[in-house]
Amino acid sequence: MLFIWSGWGILVVLIVVGTAIIVVALAQLSLQALDTPNLPLLAFCLGLFAAALNLVIDRHLKSSPPRELIYPATNARVLLTRRHALI
């Protein structure tokens, strides 16, 4: 598998792996505590949590305003924006 990312886009992979670890831990705990655990609902809720966490982090990282620089050769204004993506 090949991942290509820019900026902090690699956080998506880390959040998914972290959520998978949480799902496994909670599944083992619920299997020990209950006779018939509702694992699909647990996995669905934790998947929604991972998606919401990705959304919050994405909005935070992309909320910074662009940096404005002046190109000395032409005195043109250049805006530098940060990009965070996982492809």
- Cα–Cα distances in Å, from 2 out to 16, 17, 85? 16, 16, 14
- Percentage of residues in the chain having pLDDT higher than 70: 85
User: Taking 70 as the threshold, does the pLDDT of residue 87 lie above it?
Assistant: no
User: Taking 70 as the threshold, does the pLDDT of residue 36 lie above it?
Assistant: no
User: Taking 80 as the threshold, does the pLDDT of residue 31 lie above it?
Assistant: no
Contact 11, 60 (CB under 8 A): no
Query: Which pTM does this prediction carry?
Result: 0.55
The predicted model gives 32-39 an average pLDDT of 68
